[in-house]
């Protein structure tokens, strides 16, 4: 059953400097890379939206696209935009370049997120902040981080309550090395 209290927002950025072209719309195994994320999110969420620096690049009739509220901030700006536009108290943030997303893991994260400001995978001593749930309580800490010039999403994590989803939890659904594998370079798109 889909959780009506959380909406999914796909961070589609736009510059794709390392990739060399628009990563979200790159034809990966026959269709745009972002469509793998839309499909996986659609199995779990009723409401899906896209956040990008240029939202006009996307034309999915049933999926709203929002331009970054503050441009040039990278993914933290995308999280801010998603939280501002969301009509739910929490948002599940997903990167546009993760073709191996697992619905079971997303459902599990939804189930354990109640009462936390951020629910995020913790793999090999690192967070996976572009596969995480953020509550509206994160808005002020995110705005403060941006004001201070801090562009890493994790820059505000010490100001909010965190629910870490451990590797042990993740392995119940998918190998962590697959779950969060993203495509940063064109040659990676041709070998995955």
pLDDT at 186 over 70: no
Give pLDDT, residue 28. 75
- The average confidence (pLDDT) of the chain is 88
Q: Which CATH class is domain 6-187?
A: alpha beta
Among 103, 150, 156, which residue's Cα sits nearest to residue 129? Answer: 156
Q: What's the mean pLDDT in 2-20?
A: 73
Q: What angle do CA 136, 138, 104 make, to 5 degrees?
A: 70
* Domain edges within the chain: 6-187
Q: What is the DSSP string of 66-122?
A: EE-SSTT-THHHHHHHHHHH-SSSEEEEEETT-TT--HHHHHHHHHH-TT-SEEEEE
Question: What CA–CA distances, in Å, run from 27 to 21, 30, 48, 101, 186?
Answer: 11, 5, 21, 17, 11
Question: What CA–CA distances, in Å, run from 8 to 70, 163, 187?
Answer: 20, 18, 28
Give pLDDT, residue 141. 98
pLDDT at 67 over 70: yes
Q: What's the mean pLDDT in 47-61?
A: 86
pLDDT at 15 over 60: no
pLDDT at 110 over 60: yes
pLDDT at 17 over 60: no
């Amino acid at each position: 059953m889909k959780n009506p209290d959380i909406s999914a927002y796909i961070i589609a950025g736009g510059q794709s400097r390392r990739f060399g072209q628009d990563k979200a719309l790159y034809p990966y195994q026959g269709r745009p890379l972002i469509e793998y994320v839309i499909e996986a999110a659609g199995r779990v969420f009723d409401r899906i939206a896209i956040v990008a620096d240029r939202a006009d690049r996307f034309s999915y009739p049933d999926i709203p696209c929002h331009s970054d509220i503050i441009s040039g901030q990278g993914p933290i700006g995308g999280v801010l935009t998603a939280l501002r536009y969301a009509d739910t108290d929490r948002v599940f943030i997903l990167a546009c370049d993760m073709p191996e997303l697992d619905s079971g893991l997303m459902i599990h994260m939804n189930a354990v997120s109640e009462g936390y400001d951020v629910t995020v995978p913790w793999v090999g001593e690192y967070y996976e902040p572009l596969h995480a749930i953020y509550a509206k309580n994160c808005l002020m800490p995110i705005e403060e981080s941006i004001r201070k010039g801090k562009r890493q999403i994790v820059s505000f994590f010490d100001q909010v309550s965190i629910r870490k989803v451990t590797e042990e939890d993740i392995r119940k659904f998918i190998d962590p090395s697959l779950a969060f594998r993203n495509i940063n370079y064109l040659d990676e798109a041709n070998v995955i």
